[in-house]
Amino acid sequence: MVERTPPQRHIYPRTVRFADIDSQGHVNNVRFLDYLEDARFGMFHIDPYNAGDEPFKGLVVTRHEIDYRRPLGFRADPVRVESWVTGIGAVRFTLEYEIRDDTDLYVTAKSVLAAYDVERAAPRRLTESELAYLKRYSTQS
């Protein structure tokens, strides 16, 4: 039997902002998509840039799925958006997420992203460096 270590998760701390809270006193369901977007921007642009690598260019979301597990209210401490890759193709990849803290899971989600050539306005293949970066966070063998 071959044992595989779990993939590295990208961790993005996200502050709950007052503007995120709805009239029911918790983060509005639509605002959670902002949390996922912020985490993706950190994972694919900010972190590679800070490491001296080339950030991803031209990614588009082609699908989102989101499950709300429990209400998240206003709080001083940030929550974590944990992200990892569960599928990689030539053009597309799947990213899964949890929005959580040390004790509670608030949201699970999944996005399918595609590499996109902005100048041609068409899909493109993921580059070798992008594939290598994705594999660091991948559950695939």
Q: How does DSSP assign 42-108, residue by residue?
A: IIIIIHHHHTTSPPP--EEEEEEEEEE-S--B--SSPEEEEEEEEEE-SSEEEEEEEEE-SS-EEEE
The mean pLDDT value of the chain amounts to 95
> What is the pLDDT confidence band of residue 6, given thresholds at 50, 70 and 90?
low
> What is the pLDDT confidence band of residue 7, given thresholds at 50, 70 and 90?
confident
Average pLDDT estimate for 53-76: 96
In this prediction, residue 128 carries a pLDDT of 96
In this prediction, residue 4 carries a pLDDT of 53
Q: What is the pLDDT of residues 78-88, one digit of tens each?
A: 999 999 999 99
> What is the pLDDT confidence band of residue 72, given thresholds at 50, 70 and 90?
very high
Query: What does pTM read for this prediction?
Result: 0.92
In this prediction, residue 80 carries a pLDDT of 98
In this prediction, residue 140 carries a pLDDT of 80
In this prediction, residue 70 carries a pLDDT of 98
